[in-house]
Amino acid sequence: MDLSANPDLTAKQVKDLLCRTADKIGNPMEYDGKGHSKKFGYGRVNADKAVAEAIRMKDGGEVGTPVMTVEEMIKKGRGIFRFSVETQLPEGYGVQIGAFAKYGNVLIQVEKLQRTFKFPIIVSINELNGITVYKIVVGAFQEKTDATELKNQMKEAGVPGFVRNFKDLLD
């Protein structure tokens, strides 16, 4: 699935990606500093996180930056959200934080980002090899420098991202 999301990945990158995005199971004390357990390896494969990371890497995200996790309630299919929707013209810039295949993940990330950064959140719906993916972008700026400034603020807050031209979201 990772290669269909990003066919440019090498075998080593796929292995590293799967290890980085695996869910830790069992006692956390069993894992060493590199995230490996003698009993559980790197943990249980999390395909949603792995594909989101592969897409993020394809879209220009830095290799090795962490994928945001989903809160436990959403994993269980619970949650109530309020939102309004407007069309975003494909003009300007924002900061893309990731791409997600599960809509529940999108909702929880959007809620966190709105609460934390107080900027509009843009969600681009795309199809990749027959799979619907949702790209999440924070902010809507006319100038790239403004988006770069937000990216730096987000990085300081521990939220990795990269500047995205809205017209490129249509590809």
pLDDT of residue 37: 85
> Above 80 in pLDDT, residue 13?
yes
Which range (10-19, 27-36, 100-109) has the least confidence? Answer: 27-36
Per CATH, is 72-170 categorized as 3.90.1150.10?
no
Please report the DSSP string for 76-143 in residue order. TT---------PPPS-SEEEEEEEESSHHHHHHHHHHHHHHH-S-EEEEEEEETTEEEEEEEEEEESS
pLDDT at 5: 66
Angle (CA) 113 99 108, round 5°: 35
Average pLDDT over residues 47-76: 62
User: Could you give the 3-state DSSP secondary structure of residue 46?
Assistant: coil
For 34, residues 6+ apart whose C-beta sits below 8 A from its C-beta are none
List every span in the chain annotated with CATH 3.30.70.1070. 72-170
Average pLDDT over the chain reads 81
Q: Taking the model in full, what pTM does it have? A: 0.59
Q: Is 50 helix (H, G, I), strand (E, B) or coil?
A: helix
pLDDT of residue 29: 74
Candidates 52, 48, 51, 28; CA nearest to 40 is 28
Per-residue confidence (pLDDT) for residue 47, from 0 to 100:
79
The stretch 94-113 carries a mean pLDDT of 87
126-136, pLDDT tens digit by residue?
888 788 999 99
